[in-house]
Amino acid sequence: MKALAQVKSDNPRFVQRQYLHELTQPLVSSGVLVYRAPDYLEQKTEFPSFQRAVIQGDHLTLYSSAWKGPRTLSLQSSPGIRAVVESLRATLSGQLPVLQRSFNIKINGSSKHWSLEFRPLARALKKEVRLILLRGSDRRIDRIEIHYSQGNYSITLLSRNRP
């Protein structure tokens, strides 16, 4: 997994499909994900409408046309988002052991094609996020699967134009 830590920045395109129980069909959105070591993450949605979520340090700021101005929230005050962000950050920086206190982590596959399972340990958190599943090949994450409560889940596929 250490190999991932050598990647200092990444900006794959993403396609996200959300399966929510209130919806009659999955919600599809796409755009670009940006990662810069050590802790900068950004989700830039271009379809169906423009929206940016910037995660840096302890804060998530959302720029959305649904709201007047940007809104910031502390990750500490929203454990669900924090769990997702932490699992991504730890994977990207190769520091999984740090998370072993708060997640049950399973590694499967080979270094060529690997998958990581994060299951939160805290009971309160389990109610928000049941499972985070990351799949990748070599040094890259290819697929992010997040299972929320009430059978809701989302699958995000990442793709890169190989040079």
Can you give the binding site for other proteins, defined by CB under 8 A?
A: 16, 18, 20, 22-25, 27, 29, 43, 45, 48-49, 51, 53, 55, 58, 60, 62, 64-66, 71-74, 76-81, 84, 128, 148-150, 152
Alpha helices of 39-107 — where are they, by DSSP H? Answer: 79-93
Sequence-distant (6+) residues with CB within 8 A of 26 are 17, 18, 19, 20
- Among candidate residues 116, 92, 118, the one with its CA nearest the CA of residue 38: 92
Is 118 exposed, middle or buried (CB count within 10 Å of its CB: 0-12, 13-18, 19+)?
buried
Nearest approach, Cβ of residue 76 and other proteins (Å): 3
Nearer to other proteins, 107 or 121 (CB): 121
Nearest approach, Cβ of residue 114 and other proteins (Å): 24
Hey, what's the torsion of the CAs at 70, 20, 144, 32, to 10 degrees? -40
Nearest approach, Cβ of residue 89 and other proteins (Å): 13
Nearer to other proteins, 115 or 152 (CB): 152
Sequence-distant (6+) residues with CB within 8 A of 72 are 59, 60, 61, 62
Nearest approach, Cβ of residue 145 and other proteins (Å): 14
Nearer to other proteins, 74 or 104 (CB): 74
Nearer to other proteins, 66 or 162 (CB): 66
